[in-house]
Structure 1
Amino acid sequence: MTQQQPLNPQSPFFHEERHASLQPFSDRLITICGAGTLGANVAEALARMGFTQLRVIDKDRIEMRNLSGQPYSRAEVGAPKAHALANLLYRVVQARVDPKVVELTGENAAGLLKGSALVVDAFDNVQAREAVSRAAREADLACLHIGFSGDGLYGSGIWEPRYQVPREVPGDPCDYPLTRPLALMLSALTVRAITDFFHLEQRHDFELTWNDLRVHYG
């Protein structure tokens, strides 16, 4: 029987190591498409859990309106989201993030996703989602698509090949006042689905609405 290594209470990942070590797959490359409300929070959660190899693809720069739902600071307004996220996660836990400040299209998707053990699609537009879906299928890459509705009341995560690109609908969920709480819950479900994928080799779809959460104050 292999002797278990003693836990290091000074490790930033002490709790993860104590309950279920992620070390066997913590260095697998996860590519996150989108560094907005969902993508950035998922990347932060993964890094803090001990995943050390992340690639983030996003062409946008940080705006003031992003600060209410995304883990950026006022001082970073105007900076590329991918670079700011890479700097943040390295400072926090020395996660190695490969930032790609580029628009993902049907022409460059295959190259940008190449080498990924897992792709997480958190884009907010139909064209980019279509490009990710097509490239992942053609390269036989595991891919989880996450997103939420324009009214900020519904969110889901669907794995390839069950995913169907949604229709373009009006409304920006980031304008909804409860966007961040819903995004954090969706991020938590996403990270759980990712760990189940690596640890148990299972692909769980999920969905969440505010109506699912019934809290009674007495």
Structure 2
Amino acid sequence: MTQQQPLNSQSPFFHEERHASLQPFAGRLITICGAGTLGANVAETLARMGFTQLRVIDRDRIEMRNLSGQPYSRAEVGAPKARALSNLLYRAVQARVDPKVVELTAENVVGLLQGSALVVDAFDNVEGREAVSRAARDADLPCLHIGFSGDGVYGSGIWEPRYQVPREVPGDPCDYPLTRPLALMLSALAARAITDFFRLEQRHDFELTWNDIKVHYG
């Protein structure tokens, strides 16, 4: 009978190790497409849970309006989101984040996703989502797409190959009514789906209706 190793109370991942250790796959590369309200919060959650190898793809820079829903500081306004997130998570828990400050397109998507054990699509534009979806299917790469409705009361996570790229909607995709509580709950559901994928080899879709806090996971 194998004797269980004692828990290290000085570990930054003490609580995760106590519940269910992620150590066997903590070093697997997870690529997160988008470092906005969903992508950045998912990246932070995964890093603080113990995932140490992340790649973040985002072309945008931090704006003042991002501070209410994204884990950036006022001092970082103007900096590239991917690079700021990389610095933040290394300082926090020494997670190694490979920042890609570039626009993901159909031409460069294969190279940007190369080596990933899992892809998380948190883009806010149809072109980026479509490129990620097609590349993931072609490469048979595990991919979870997370997003929310235009009215900010519904969110979901859908795995390939069940995902369908949404239609383009008019207006600025950054002007969304997504509150921080909804974003954090969606990020938490995404993190659970990701850990279930690695630990249990299961791909759970999820839905969240914010008005009545109704959650479907399965």
Q: TM-score range by the shorter chain?
A: over 0.9
| Cα gap change, 1:175 to 1:126, in 2 (>3 Å) | closer
CA contact (8 A) 1:173 1:179 kept: no
Q: 1:155-214 CA distances to partner (integer Å, 9 max, x unpaired)? A: 0000000000000123547542x5211110000000000000000000000111113327
For 1:191 and 1:138, locate their aligned partners in 2 and report how far apart those are by CA, in whole Å. 24
Corresponding residue of 1:117? 117
Equivalents in 2 of 1:212, 1:167: separation in Å? 26
Q: What CA distance in whole angstroms lies between the structure 2 residues aligned with 1:192 and 1:175?
A: 25
* In 2: Cα distance, 1:150 partner to 1:87 partner: 31
Structure 2 residue matching 1:144: 3-state secondary structure: strand
How is 1:47-126 mapped onto 2 (pairs within 5 angstroms)?
47-126=47-126
Separation of aligned partners in 1, 2:187 and 2:170: 23
Query: What's the counterpart of residue 179 of structure 1?
Result: 179
Counterpart code for 1:42: V
SS at match of 1:68: coil
Gaps of 5+ in 1: none
- TM-score, normalised relative to structure 2: 0.95
Identical amino acids, percent of aligned pairs: 87
Distance 2:169 2:207 in 1: 18
How many equivalent residue pairs? 213
TM-score by length of 1: 0.95
Determine the C-alpha separation between the residues in 1 that align with 2:149 and 2:174.
Answer: 6
* In 2, Cα distance between equivalents of 1:100 and 1:52: 17
Alignment RMSD (CA, Å): 1.2
3-state SS of paired residue (2:67): helix
In 2, distance between residues paired with 1:84 and 1:158? 28
Q: Could you tell me which runs of 5 or more consecutive residues in structure 2 were left unpaired when the two chains were aligned.
A: none
- Output the CA distance in 1 between the equivalents of 2:137 and 2:176: 32
User: Where does residue 207 of structure 2 map in the other structure?
Assistant: 207
